[in-house]
Amino acid sequence: MTFTQILAFTLSMIFTVLFFLYGFNHYYLLFATRRYKKPVLPNNPEYHPKVSIHLPVYNERYVVRRLIDASVAAVEAYGTADASVRVLDDSTDDTKDLIDEIVSGYQKKGVNIDVVRREKRTGYKAGALQHALEISEAEFIAIFDADFVPPEDFLLRTVPYFGEDDTLAIVQSRWGHLNRDFNMLTKAIAIGIDVHFLIEQTGRYAANCCQNFNGTGGVIRKSAIQEAGGWQADTLAEDLDLSYRIQSRCGYHVIFLNDLVSPAEIPPTVPSFKRQQARWACGSLRTAKKLLPEVMRNKNFNFKQKLQAFIHLTGYMLHPLMLGSFLLICFTTIFNVGNFGWIDPSALELVGDYQDLAKASPGVVLDYIGAIILFVTIVFCSIAPWISMIVALKSQGLSVRKNIVNLIVQFLLGFGVSLSNTIEAGKALLTNRVWAFVRTPKYAEVQGGQGWQKKRYQVNLDSTWVLEFLLVVLGCTAIYFCIRYKNLISLGLLILYTVAFFFVFALSWKQSIKVKKSLVLKESEV
C-alpha cells in the first residue's frame, strides 16, 4: 500500500465507524419508541400556579398577531388571574407599532398582557428570555417562538404535571406544521421534523435519556432555570444548552408529550431552511463543546445515557462526515487510488462476474469481500433514516406512497446542506466567537405555494453557492472517472451526492436571485 492508499483507507474506516454509530442509533430509538407511555395528567383542581407565556419577537410583522391571539386564548382558558402573556419585543421595524396596537386592545379587555423592550439586543433570544425571567413573578414560564400557534388548552395540558413532581423541570410538546402542504420543500422538511419528535424525542424519553427543550412549545420551572445558571447566550442553541444544564447539574428531568401538538410555520425556501439549519448546527455543536465533558464525567448518568447524550449533542457532525466522505470518494476515484481508499479497482470488475472471481488471486478476492462488507455496512446505515421517516409518516396515518417524492426531497436537502452546515460546525468547534443569532424569516403563508416572494425579510444569496457549484463540478468529474474505471460502487454514491448538491445550489440561486432588493433582510433585521 502507498501512503495515499493507507491514508484513504484510514479515513474511510473512520467515516464508516462513525456513520454506523449514528445510523445504528436510529434503530435503537425506533425500538425504544415502542416503550413510550404518555404520563398520566394529574387531576388536581386546587393546583393552579402562576404561569407567564413569554413570546420572544424580533421583526415579525406577518405572524405576531397570530401568535399573540393564540397565546391570549391559552391564558383565558387557564384563567387570567393566574396566567399572563409577556411579549419580549426586540423589533427594529414597524412590528413594534403593530405589537403595541394588539397589546393595547387586549389590555382594554382586561387581559393580563404587556410588552418588554430592551435598549440593546444583547444576547439575542437568550438575552431577551433572561431579562424577562428576572422580572417575572410567575412560577412557570411557557415559551413560544413567533411562528407558533399555541393550542388553546396548552397550559391546561402541561402545567398540572408540575404539581406532583418537584424534580420535573420541563414539559415539552411536539411540533406540528401550519403549512405542511405549502410546497414540496415544506412537505419534505415536515418529515424531518416529525422524525425528530416522533422517533428521536419519543425514543430518548422512553429510554430514560436526556431530553431537550426545543426552544418553544414548552413550559419550564423558573427555579430550575435559575439553579442551572439562567439563559446563556454563548451558544446559538440556548434551549439545548439550558436543557442539559438543568438535567446534568441540577438533577431535574423532562417530560415529553408526543400527543400535544404545537403547530408552527416551516421555512418555505431553501435559503431560509439553510439559515435555520445553520443556526441549529452551530448552536448544538457549540453546546456539545461546552457541556459534553461535564456530561461524560457525571456519575449520575450511566453509559447508555452518556452515549445518547454524545450522539444527541453531536448529531450535526453527520454533515461534516457526509462532506468528508464525498470528497474522499471523489479524490480516490479521480486519482484511481481504489474504492474507499484501499480496494484494488480490478476487484470491482468482478462484481456481477462470479466465474472470474473464482480464478482471481487471494488478494483480489479479499478486496472484493471487503468491498461487499463495506457496501453492506454503508447501506445498513443509510437506510436507517429512511426507515425512521417511513415510521414517522405511518404513525400519523400518512401515506408513504403519496410521500415518495417528499422523502426524496428530504434526502436531497439533508445531503445538500452538508456543505453549509459543515461551515457552521467549523465556526462552533474551531472558534470561541459568539456568533450572531440570525433569525429564520416567517411569512404567514400556509397554503397555495406562493406569496412569500412579495414579502419582506427575504434571504439574500450568500457566498456558499460558489462552493456548492464547485462541489457539483467535482462530483461530475468523479462520475466520469467512475465510469472510466468501472467503479460501480462509488458511482451510485457520487450520483446521489452530486444531485443533492445541485438541487440545493439550484434552488438557493433561484429563490434568492429573483427577490427584489427592497425585500431582502437588512443587516439590522437578522
Q: Which residues are catalytic?
A: 90, 239
- Tell how strand 83-89 and strand 113-116 pair up: parallel
CA atoms of 260 and 252, how far apart (whole Å): 21
Question: Dihedral angle at the C-alpha atoms of 240, 242, 246, 249, nearest 10 degrees?
Answer: 100
486 conformational bin, left if phi > 0, alpha if psi -120 to 50, beta if neither: left
CA atoms of 433 and 429, how far apart (whole Å): 10
Q: Which three cell numbers stand for residue 426?
A: 467549523
Q: Which three cell numbers stand for residue 525?
A: 433585521
CA atoms of 359 and 366, how far apart (whole Å): 13
The residues pairing with 171 across neighbouring beta strands, listed in sequence order, are: 219, 255
Of residues 94, 93, 89, the one with CA closest to residue 132: 89
Of residues 79, 90, 84, 161, the one with CA closest to residue 122: 90
Q: Which residues contact 75 (CB under 8 A, 6 or more apart)?
A: 53, 83, 84, 85, 111, 112, 113, 155
CA atoms of 168 and 164, how far apart (whole Å): 9
CA atoms of 47 and 158, how far apart (whole Å): 12
Chain position carrying cell 442509533: 25
